[in-house]
Chain A
Amino acid sequence: MPESHAEIETDELARRMSAVVGEAHCISDPAGLSVYECDGLSHGRIRPRLVVLPASTEEVVEVVRLAHDAGVPLVPRGSGTGLSGGARPTPGGVVVALSRMRRVLEVNLEDGWVRLEPGVINLDVTRAVQGRGWYYAPDPSSQSICSIGGNVAENSGGAHCLKYGFTVNHVLGARLVLDGGEVVDLGGPSPDTTGYDLLAALVGSEGMLGIVTEVTLRLLRKPEATRTFLATFPSSDEAGEAVSGIIAAGILPAAIEMMDTLAIQAAKAATGLNWPEVGSILLMDVDGPLAEAEHTSAAAIGIARSAGALEVRIPVDEAERQLMWKGRKSAFAAVGRLSPNYMVEDGVIPRSEIARVLREIGRMAGEAGLRVANVFHAGDGNLHPLVLYDARNPGEEEKAAKLGGDILRLCVRLGGSITGEHGVGAEKAAYMADMFAPEDLETMFLVRCAFDPEARFNPDKVFPTPRLCGERPGPYRPHPAEAAGLVERW
């Protein structure tokens, strides 16, 4: 019979966990615990009861069993770079940090896959195989540090997902530890299409179904050629038109990224790039066989020019190309140079609405008296408005949060979504009801309950009103005993 979590003393739990992972890898001192209070979303911190760092599937199994027996919630954590608070600790819960599980277990280039532990860093997958002309396609901006386990949990995207798809398109298999310690393998290196696609349910489940301890990823051959260009525009109107025009012409770039003036300023400050501070820029990659890349790139540049590009820059060498992308990928964190605090939003809109929505965001920001920087995946219509504020000014944080919420609702109104790739986590749970009817949420919850009936894993995320499996949502329905007149309503 599981003990309720109030019953077990933290010291006793720490003793039991230490016996599994080793004393050095069970963190219980206030200093150690304090640094696990948040992930990449640094407000709304919660100090965990314990942090454990297991080193193998076997250790994870034991940790999960102990937590199950003690009735303690678990929160899996990768590198702690998530932007929606998905790895924020649950009060009274134990954080399971997977950053020690970072071995690449098997590389099979003949069949184009790699099997690895969840703590492996995204970019290290590519590093392990690039010498032989292969790479791992999904490239979140945090790819130099975010973990594959975290990518699986969040179904992470990235600039090049426009052409190559999100994490879900690249995960071939996963080993999952369920509550109680059962280990299940979903999918595998060979195509596995029989029955329900449980793997697809796992990818993007935000750590709510179990703990992933192994992942098999699809690898791709590095394209023969990549052509990169940067186009500058007076405003997002022309840039937005260029994006729509390029896609409408049947061109599928590997990536089209848009940045506005504030984002350009931040990227320049972080990398020393000499970009002009125009209203908007597009950074675009086209890849494929050489002839195709050349042809498509020329066509896209033509469309950008006729949409009103002021200037088109082509990097002279790979080093300059890398620097341009570094500018783009460091832009989020670089905004820290422009403002003491900011909130990263992550909404999706139909691509054709980009210019209109950016104008509307500008208007809303003006009304709120705040600045908003925009740096985002234009090809997917995946916006990242960064709401800048100064928490030291009374009321400004609340104003920023309201503006962020209003922007997300605007996205939903236009037929988009409250998240494109950062996940719902703790931060966006409140907006789920703006996007989904209660029945939708109920259906999603049933999936969760099928894997994790006691809500052991990451219990207070994603759903706007956390509850236990078996609780009936919706309007009151009389209990059969009540209907039979045996008892009064309780």
Chain B
Amino acid sequence: MTTRGHLDECVHCGFCLPVCPTWINWGEEMDSPRGRIDLLRGVRDGKLEFDGPVALHLDRCLGCMACMTACPSGVRYDLVIEEARAQRELAVPRGLFDRLHRAALFSLFPYPRRLRLAAALLFLYSRSGLQWLMRATGLLRLVSSRLATLDALVPRIGTASLASGLPARLPAAGERRARVGLVTGCVQGVFFPNVNAATARVLVAEGCEVVVPPGQGCCGALSTHAGRLDEARRLVRGLIERFEAVEVDVVVINSAGCGSHLKDCQRLFAGDPFEPRAAAFSKKVRDVNELVDSLPPRAVRHPLQARVAYHSPCHLGHAQRLTAPPRALLRAIPGLELIEIADGDQCCGSAGIYNLVQPASADQIGARKAAAVLASGASWLASANPGCTLHIQRQLRERGATIRAAQPIEILDASLRGRTEPDGG
């Protein structure tokens, strides 16, 4: 008897369709989780070639995992799509521009030092008037819609982005409740340094000793989700080794996509001698919202008058099934009014590098999210993932609207410090 693969767990009920952003986009079966599984079964059973159209429908999947929340049969779509993406790279060669674009992304994002250099260039680009010129003339869009998308996404770079970070150890305020290692991330650390600072401050205030292992690189999440598994193994192994050197009770992460990958990274080492070390590390990983929510509050929450809409990042809500902790953390702040966004469990279209490689689809999805955010009447958007925040802010900007955005942990930090609003935004 053959082993039952994940593809066979799908009973074709269709419950995944209405939650799939691309099915909502086009109403087509091939761009639904059920359809993609069907395509992969067809390929496996020799009824279909792994050709351009099959690759196209796989490429259009955001990997948001909303289908996993909806699936009554418990299909492991995360594993299905990850494996399919690895196969896809081998089966259907990408065009030259696509290859270069991806090569550029994957040789930039995972490396904080390169990102910091890029941030410096972007700082000059945005302040020199060149960005204004490129946008005003539409020159960039003429060259490439992908580059234009990248340009539109770039956050406002502050000088904090250009320096690297946090001290290696911060003692707990009061009696120590845990010794926590902080993953500083790549994009998070460079483009949103305030988030790491806020994370560290909240943890310290709540009685955690915070350790920041030096020399951290990317955790490999982007590579894993794109099916670049060798690269992912190399990156996550490097990160795990840094954390093994500092001995902590908990590894805390404030980026949802990275967290879901790190909680499950031992899979990448199945049968490898490194597997038990990866498993030991995975067990310690907690999202910052999850960790703070699990600690009985110790620090005083000062009132914060704000109407805050919470955007649930897919890798937190669907992949890690953490929907309650970030909301609980916000609700505990006096004066803060927590607002739900309509269809709040749906992806915003950012999805790792999806908005960079599938801009048209990402825009369609983002437009729905932007409309829902605007309709909520919130003054702040709380999102626990940097990619989502950038994408939603860009969608709003293009509609002539703005909303101040911060991570829940930054908002909590502001409350603990008695500020009227978070540092970022």
Contacts and interface: CB of A to CB of B under 8 A. Distances in A.
A142 B39 contact: no
B38 interface: yes
Contact of A32 (B4, B13, B30): B30
A35 B29 contact: yes
A56 interface: no
B48 A30 contact: yes
Interface stretch (B49-57, B99-107, B253-261): B49-57
Would you call the interface of chain B mostly helix, strand, loop, or mixed? loop
Contacts of B73: 270, 333-334, 336-337
A466 interface: no
B27 A336 contact: no
Interface in B271-322: none
A42 B54 CA distance: 20
A333 B15 contact: yes
Nearest to A336: B73
A424 interface: no
Contact of B29 (A36, A119, A270, A330): A36
A80, A142, A144, A336 — most chain B CB neighbours (10 Å): A336
B8, B13, B30, B38 — most chain A CB neighbours (10 Å): B13
A97 interface: yes
Contacts of A35: 29-30, 34-35, 38-39
B11 A336 contact: yes
A145 interface: yes
B14 A81 contact: yes
Would you call the interface of chain A mostly helix, strand, loop, or mixed? loop
B174 interface: no
A34 B27 contact: no
Contacts of B28: 27, 32, 53, 97, 99
A100 interface: yes
A248 interface: no
Contacts of B4: 340
A40 B13 contact: yes
Interface string B1-40: 1101000111111110110000000111110001100110
A29 B38 CA distance: 15
Contacts of B47: 34
Contact of B13 (A30, A100, A332): A332
A29 B8 CA distance: 24
A56 to B, nearest CB: 14
B93 interface: no
A340 B17 CA distance: 21
B72 interface: yes
A79 B35 contact: no
A31 B29 contact: no
Interface string A311-352: 000000000000000000011111111001010000000000
Given A31-B39, A100-B27, A119-B27, A79 B17 contact: yes
Contact of B27 (A37, A99, A331, A392): A99
Contacts of A119: 27
B14 A334 contact: no
Given A32-B53, A53-B27, A336-B73, A144 B18 contact: yes
Nearest to B13: A333
A32 to B, nearest CB: 5
Contacts of B34: 35
Interface in B59-78: 70-74
B47 to A, nearest CB: 7
B49 A121 contact: no
A31 B54 contact: yes
Nearest to A100: B27
Contacts of A40: 12-14
A284 B53 CA distance: 47
A136 to B, nearest CB: 16
A118 to B, nearest CB: 12
B42 A34 contact: yes
A488 to B, nearest CB: 49
Contacts of A31: 30, 39, 42, 48, 51, 53-54, 57
B371 to A, nearest CB: 16
Nearest to A101: B27
A340 B8 CA distance: 7
B54 to A, nearest CB: 5
A38 interface: yes
Contacts of B42: 31, 34
Given A34-B48, A269-B74, A330 B27 contact: no
Given A31-B51, A121-B18, A333 B11 contact: yes
Contacts of A68: none
B12 A42 contact: yes
A81 B13 contact: yes
Nearest to B26: A100
A327 to B, nearest CB: 10
A236 to B, nearest CB: 23
B10, B27, B49 — most chain A CB neighbours (10 Å): B27
Contacts of B11: 42, 333, 335-336, 342
Interface in A105-143: 119, 121, 123, 142
A88 interface: no
A40 B35 CA distance: 12
B1 A392 contact: yes
A49 interface: no
A266 to B, nearest CB: 8
B72 A330 contact: yes
Contact of A145 (B2, B15, B30): B15
A99 B24 CA distance: 9
B277 to A, nearest CB: 31
A450 to B, nearest CB: 32
A420 B200 CA distance: 60
B91 to A, nearest CB: 12
A337 to B, nearest CB: 6
Contacts of A42: 11-12
Contact of A270 (B26, B27, B72): B72
A461 interface: no
Interface in B65-97: 70-74
A332 B72 CA distance: 8
B1, B12, B35, B48 — most chain A CB neighbours (10 Å): B12
A270 B68 CA distance: 11
A46 B72 CA distance: 26
Contacts of B9: 336-337
Cβ-closest 5 pairs across A and B: A336-B73, A99-B27, A330-B72, A333-B72, A333-B13
Given A31-B48, A333-B11, A336-B9, 8 more contacts: A27-B30, A31-B39, A31-B51, A34-B47, A35-B38, A144-B70, A334-B74, A340-B4
6 contacts: A34-B39, A35-B35, A36-B29, A53-B27, A99-B27, A334-B72
Interface of B: 1-2, 4, 8-15, 17-18, 26-30, 34-35, 38-39, 42, 47-49, 51, 53-54, 57, 70-74
